[in-house]
Amino acid sequence: MPPGMAHGNARQALREARRERGARSGRRVEREAAQYLTAAGLAVVKTLEEIAHAHDTEVPTVALSWLRGRPDVAAPIASARTVEQLPALVASATFESTAEERAALDDVTGPGAAA
């Protein structure tokens, strides 16, 4: 029985259960994110940010465009939690980076990338 239910405070118990579920979810997200917060992962983010800045666009636009052009990726999958995130995803369909920029991303994500 969730805390508070024995005292008849169902609303408080429901709020506490939701908060705990959210905390568990947050811890799961943190564990999953930690695998990317490495020198190699941060190098990828830095490269994406530099390319996005050079083209006055957003990082998701660059990332999805790069993935779309990779022969080992059948179809990049992206989702938006908010309407505000949609333009960056849609823009990736027409965004074109330079050959040098794509090579830079390949370098920081390839087999020889820093761990």
pLDDT per residue as tens digits for the range 50-64: 999 999 999 999 999
Q: Do residue 49 and residue 100 come from a single domain?
A: yes
Residue 106 has pLDDT above 80, yes or no: yes
Structural contact between residues 96 and 61, judged by C-beta atoms closer than 8 angstroms: no
Cβ contact 97:61 at 8 Å: no
User: Is 89 part of any domain?
Assistant: yes
Whole-angstrom Cα distance, residue 113 to residue 106? 9
Same domain, 19 and 52: no
| pTM confidence score | 0.69
- 77 inside domain: yes
Asked if 114 and 43 count as a contact pair (C-beta separation under 8 A), the reply is yes
> Is 115 among the domain residues?
no
Quote the radius of gyration of the chain (alpha carbons, Å).
20
Give the pair of three-digit tokens for residue 7: 């005292």
User: What is the rounded distance in angstroms from the CA atom of residue 92 to the CA atom of residue 85?
Assistant: 12
Structural domains counted in the chain: 2
Q: What is the extent of the structural domain holding 20? A: 5-34
How does pLDDT run across 1-40, given as a tens digit for each residue?
334 334 444 555 656 666 766 666 667 767 777 777 788 8
Q: Tell me whether residue 49 is in a domain.
A: yes
The Cα–Cα gap between 87 and 85 comes to 6
